[in-house]
Amino acid sequence: MSWVRIWVHLVFSTKDRVPSLHSKEIREKVFRHIKENAQIKSIWLDHINGHHEHTHCLISLGKDQTISKIAQLIKGESSYWINHNQLIREKFIWQDDFWAVSVSESHLVSVRKYIQQQEEHHTRKSFTDEVEDFMKKYGWALINTK
């Protein structure tokens, strides 16, 4: 039997960062659905939360799972579900890209708390500022390929 525990903090946004998840009620429905669907697909989704235009997930990868495949399964099915159930008026689409970082066991409590406190966090900081902070923290740079 294989034993794997690789924790990943996965973040993705709505297409063009449109604030489609504008109400707490919609976000709660979407996040509950994503959690239930992840369970059906054998994705260990420990925590999920977000704000108007983005979602944070704390995931433990299984031995046959990749970050890309998990992001595809979560985003694809949830956008279909949101549109099928007409949760918002306009067509809902997640941005194609995402970002993900590994999380050590010793930081799980702080990452869970960070994800849980998204509502409060975004009263002080925009998602754009949050992304810029993460890019600085992890040494990422946007590369314009056009």
Classify the C-alpha dihedral 12-13-15-16 as positive or negative. Answer: negative
User: pLDDT tens across 20-45, in order?
Assistant: 999 999 999 999 999 999 999 999 99
Percent of the chain with pLDDT over 70: 88
Q: In terms of C-beta distances under 8 Å and separation of at least 24 residues, what long-range contacts does 76-85 make, across chains too? A: 77/37, 78/30, 78/33, 78/34, 78/37, 81/33, 81/37, 82/30
Q: Quote the pLDDT of residue 132.
A: 72
Reported as a single tens digit per residue, the pLDDT across 58-82 is: 999 999 999 999 999 999 999 999 9
**Residue 140: is its pLDDT beyond 70?**
no
Q: Does domain 6-138 have CATH number 1.25.40.10?
A: no
